[in-house]
Chains A and B, each alone.
Chain A
Amino acid sequence: MAVITSRTADDIPGMIVAAAAGDTDAFAFLVNAYHEDMRRVCVVVTGDEGIAEEAVASAWAIAWRKIGSVRDPSRVCAWLVSVSVNEARQLLRARKRHSVVEIQVHATREHGVGQDPGAGIDAIDLRNALARLDQADRTLLAMRYLAGFNAAEIADVTGRSASGTRARLARLLHRLEKELGDG
């Protein structure tokens, strides 16, 4: 564990090179740095923690073999996330039983309290909104607002144009704002 903690984010390019050469300690550095980003994005995409775990495990196996193909170290996180999301979507297709199910909410707001505009969106409302989205839109949402990637980074790993990604994000945001309100 000391190998991991003694290094900083500045070491990532070096870690990628070392991992590509077979250095498992360097690879562990990357695992430590990005595993949770990958898993949490997959949770949003799939709505299933078990599938998310499995997808990330599968993604690390792929990453071990292909980490050397990452040319831009600044995009390694986006690349790893996209690999895990691809694995998650494949797992979802293979397990129809675990598809995301929409929870209908009949909330009686007259007894509720006002919403803090600074707080997150109501969890139940968000869950229902996510359930109505397809996986591509859930992926876009998770990459943008959970992992914090910009449109260019998302476009790079999804194979779309940056402008197309921005347009789709804008449409998605507009739709969600209508569904969830703006506080």
Chain B
Amino acid sequence: MDELNAFERRLAAGLDAYAGPRRPVNAVAIARAAGATSPVRRGTLLGSGRVPWRLMVAAALLVVSLAAGAVFVGSQHPQLPPVVGPAGNGLVAYSSDGDIFVGDPVTGTSTAIVTGPEPDSEPMFSPDGTHIAFIRGDPWSDDVTIVVVSDDGSDERVVMPAGLSDRGLGFAWTPDSASIVVNHDNFPFTTPYFDGELSLVDVFGRAEPRLLTPPLPIGPGGPYLNRNAPFAHMFRPPNADVILSGGANALHLWDVDLESMTELAPEELSRFEPYSTCGWCVAWSPDGSMISVALNVPDDAIDTFVMDADGTDVRAMPIGTWSPDSSKMALERCSTNPERPGAVIVVVDIASGDERVLGATSVETKTEGSVPPRPSEESEYCGWYEGPDGRVYDYEGWSWTPDGRSIVMLERAGTRPVVVDVETGDAIELPWEADSALSWRARPAIEP
């Protein structure tokens, strides 16, 4: 290349990075495919032009090329991403106008993989990235199903038929990607809100759906599952072999068949009221080494803790959604800045307790949510609670990116998600309008 100035050198470096690394090429296979199928080199015998040789050759070469690429990728990384530890950021699933889309945050391209007249929403990649589950119908009606498709939208099947829930629906994958935990509510209702019953549904139809509550306690008053987490937080990663729940006087560790149970009752927590039955109050860290728990205290507030999986090293800690590497928590709070009321995401370092408020960015992702304002006392929590200005704020959804470096937030339905780097505060607006929280597919991490 001719002599380049400084900007041209930077431009060349940038384009080189954009184009991606060079890959091994199976040149012999490509060449032989061309040589074996082209009619031109065979002279005039095939010169009628009726046979789509060019198309056939291109198709053959494409197969060879893609196969070579697949071999290359396969030789570099395992096919399925690890659940334990951070992964790379892959594609993003989201819903818009009742259809399911998969977008590439790198190129900005997006493809509708499930379309049709049915209202589809809330897609969620399985932890291994091979399937997408989503809700079909109004999730707050009894006419709602859960559908699973392959990552390209094919092989559609209903894993939970209509009628399972009479009021509201939520779901999450188990960490082993084999099942879906369905959060439903059926007559007779125990509370005027949401009773939080759970069922386990085998995605591949190898077992009948089974009710988990009881023996797991129902979670009255609100959704059981943490929508911001990439999998059902009560199932121990990576194999979903132990189910964690709050019990009367201890944490309960159930075997996956719910036939045997051991108790975990750290002495440090004995001064609190009996362990809450709140469904979302206990969660495994993504590496399965720690547990987070929220407990009622006598003044009807909630205190939160993190401990090792054996009940030792109990630490008071704000809890929310674990980062993929289990080193941080992210939670939604009200902004304490009177100039900028709204919800913010707070990231808490588990080791140090240090907090980082993502509201320090200048990105306007924090606006009044869909819950109508109502007068109330001040509260530090925002999601479905009141902010210090008496109004209510809530994100439509947010979650960690698989690499654990950013939080992706959807301010409200019909807006563009924003990805915020938790270290720098830099924010990127994705080019698609989404109706529900994004689900980011994990892919095997690439070593630097």
Contacts and interface: CB of A to CB of B under 8 A. Distances in A.
A60 B61 contact: yes
B250 interface: no
Contacts of B8: 145, 173
Given A25-B31, A145-B12, A43 B62 contact: no
A154 to B, nearest CB: 12
A183 B25 contact: no
A61 B427 contact: no
Contacts of A103: 105, 108, 428-431
Contacts of A177: 7
B431 A28 contact: no
Given A32-B25, A111-B360, A121-B10, A106 B34 contact: no
B58 A24 contact: no
A142 B12 CA distance: 9
B30 A60 contact: yes
A146 interface: yes
Contacts of B11: 120-121, 126, 141, 145, 173, 176, 180
A142 B362 CA distance: 34
A61 B57 contact: yes
Contact of A57 (B31, B61, B363, B427): B61
Nearest to B105: A103
Contacts of A150: 1-2
Contacts of A142: 15, 19
A130 B12 CA distance: 13
A148 B30 contact: no
A111 B425 contact: yes
Nearest to B54: A61
Contacts of B156: none
Indicate the size class of the contact surface on chain B: 35 or more
A64 B430 contact: no
B45 interface: no
B11 to A, nearest CB: 5
B23 interface: yes
Given A35-B25, A146-B16, A65 B7 contact: no
A35 B107 contact: no
A6 interface: no
A117 B2 CA distance: 20
A126 B17 CA distance: 10
B258 interface: no
B14 A58 contact: no
A65 B109 CA distance: 33
Interface stretch (B35-43, B77-85, B180-188): B35-43
B34 A61 contact: yes
Contacts of B108: 47, 100-103, 127, 131
Interface residues of A, number: 74
Given A44-B19, A103-B431, A108 B57 contact: no
Nearest to B104: A48
B31 A31 contact: yes
Contact of B12 (A1, A31, A146, A180): A146
A22 B61 CA distance: 17
Given A106-B363, A119-B13, A183-B10, A43 B35 contact: no
A44 to B, nearest CB: 6
Given A32-B27, A40-B19, A64-B34, A111 B428 contact: no
Contacts of A58: 54, 58, 61-62
A31 B424 CA distance: 43
Contacts of B6: 117, 182-183
B22 interface: yes
A113 to B, nearest CB: 7
A84 to B, nearest CB: 11
Contacts of B66: 53
A182 B424 CA distance: 22
Given A56-B65, A106-B428, A65 B31 contact: no
Given A60-B34, A148-B1, A173-B8, A31 B25 contact: yes
A32 B88 CA distance: 29
Contacts of A176: 7, 11
Interface in A24-58: 24-25, 27-32, 35-36, 39-41, 43-44, 47-49, 53-54, 56-58
B25 A24 contact: no
A74 interface: no
A108 B25 contact: no
A24 B32 contact: yes
A64 B62 contact: no
Contacts of B418: 106
Given A120-B14, A124-B428, 10 more contacts: A27-B34, A35-B30, A61-B54, A64-B35, A65-B41, A111-B360, A120-B13, A123-B17, A182-B7, A183-B6
10 nearest A-B pairs in the assembled complex, by CB-CB distance: A120-B13, A28-B31, A111-B425, A32-B27, A24-B35, A61-B57, A40-B19, A121-B14, A101-B108, A57-B61
20 contacts: A3-B28, A27-B34, A28-B27, A31-B27, A32-B25, A44-B15, A47-B108, A60-B34, A103-B428, A106-B428, A106-B429, A107-B428, A110-B425, A111-B360, A120-B12, A120-B16, A127-B106, A127-B108, A145-B4, A183-B7
Interface of A: 1, 3-4, 22, 24-25, 27-32, 35-36, 39-41, 43-44, 47-49, 53-54, 56-58, 60-65, 97-113, 117-124, 126-127, 130-131, 141-142, 145-146, 148, 150, 173, 176-177, 180, 182-183
